[in-house]
Structure 1
Amino acid sequence: MAHYFEDIEIGEVERFGHYVVERQEVIDFASKYDPQPFHLSDEAAAKTHFGKIAASGWHTAGMFMAMFVAHIQKNPERQAASLGALGVDELRWHRPCHPGDILRCEAEVIEKSVSQSRPEMGIIKSRITVFNQDNKRMMTLMPIAMWRTRPI
């Protein structure tokens, strides 16, 4: 079943994802994109409020994106209806992500509107919460995504 803009309801909640945070991935990401000592070394992180090596918040955002894309790719028609995003509001990192954490997501649709300039698409705003294995809130964000409208 397709999942066009018209199929999406305000208040709809989806739960998805299972992402194991791997130590080497944390170090590799940080080495390339956010080479701060507390992302690269337990010894350096121990001297900070992190206490132990912590994933970059940008890496956490990337892990969310990997889970989201894997989720929508389970339905090729839904994948085809996803047209990218206009941006993200209110990105917050509530606690650090550490190697060994297992992440999952909840997404709630909070707004929708038809594009005034592009009638072939609608705009969906969602509230995303990323949790760890202990159901602790790790990150929240509100993506503003474009979805294909149902062909006439």
Structure 2
Amino acid sequence: MRFDDIALDAPTTVGSHHFTEAAILDFARRYDPQPFHLDRDAAAASHFGGLVASGWHTAAAWMRVTVDYVKAMGTLAGISPGLDEIRWTRPVRPGDTVTYVNTWRAKRRLKSRPGWAIVENEAVGTNQDGAVVFTMRGPVLVPIED
């Protein structure tokens, strides 16, 4: 990708993920075994009032659709050196479908690594009702051509 072709402030829908109860339970068993992710009764008695997906599940779904999108576009995926911020603003429940949008917010060439740039990404996940359920900001190292 050419550095000049990296468009800033142009939202790109990268995909959607449907959260089933079975998938929520499976993810929770393997990665985030908290009662409100694993047990319907315990979840109903919690402040969530019912079963909810792990925040990490919503983040993993974002990563999955982003990687699939990048592969489908035939571009190289970048490398993330970490996150600046991540927020889970609303619970994701069984039956919800979350659509993820990525937006490049800033870019700069790396003087120390010719052929590479850091691009600041903002990701937003919105459920089927239009409510934001997930936001994330973080840098991505991407190979560039000059």
TM range (shorter): over 0.9
- Runs of 5+ in structure 1 lacking a partner? none
Note closer, same or farther for the CA distance 1:117–1:22 as it changes in structure 2 (3 Å cut).
same
- State the partner residue of 2:78: 83
Equivalent residue runs for 1:3-42 within 5 Å? 3-42=1-40
Asked if residue 54 in structure 1 is aligned to residue 49 in structure 2, the reply is no
C-alpha RMSD of matched pairs (Å): 1.3
Q: 99, 103, 110: which is aligned to 1:104?
A: 99
Give the Cα–Cα distance (whole angstroms) in 2 for the partners of residues 45 and 118 of structure 1. 49
User: Is the CA contact 1:4–1:147 (under 8 Å) kept in the aligned structure 2?
Assistant: no
- State the partner residue of 2:127: 132
User: Is the CA contact 1:5–1:147 (under 8 Å) kept in the aligned structure 2?
Assistant: no
Q: 117, 124, 127: which is aligned to 1:122?
A: 117
Q: 71, 84, 90: which is aligned to 1:95?
A: 90
Instruction: Read off the aligned partner of 1:145 and give its amino acid letter.
Output: V
Give the Cα–Cα distance (whole angstroms) in 1 for the partners of residues 5 and 13 of structure 2. 17
Give the Cα–Cα distance (whole angstroms) in 2 for the partners of residues 145 and 15 of structure 1. 17
> How many residues align structurally?
146
How far does the alpha carbon of each residue in 1:95-140 deviate from its partner, in whole angstroms, 9 at most, with x for none? 1111110011122211111112111110000111100111100010
Give the Cα–Cα distance (whole angstroms) in 2 for the partners of residues 14 and 108 of structure 1. 6
Structure 1 stretch 15-24 or stretch 122-131: which is displaced more? 15-24
TM-score (norm 1): 0.90
In proportion to residue count, which structure has more strand?
1
- Runs of 5+ in structure 2 lacking a partner? none
TM-score (norm 2): 0.94
Instruction: Read off the aligned partner of 1:6 and give its amino acid letter.
Output: D
Instruction: Read off the aligned partner of 1:88 and give its amino acid letter.
Output: L
Give the Cα–Cα distance (whole angstroms) in 1 for the partners of residues 16 and 30 of structure 2. 24
- Give 3-state SS (helix, strand or coil) of 2:51's partner: coil
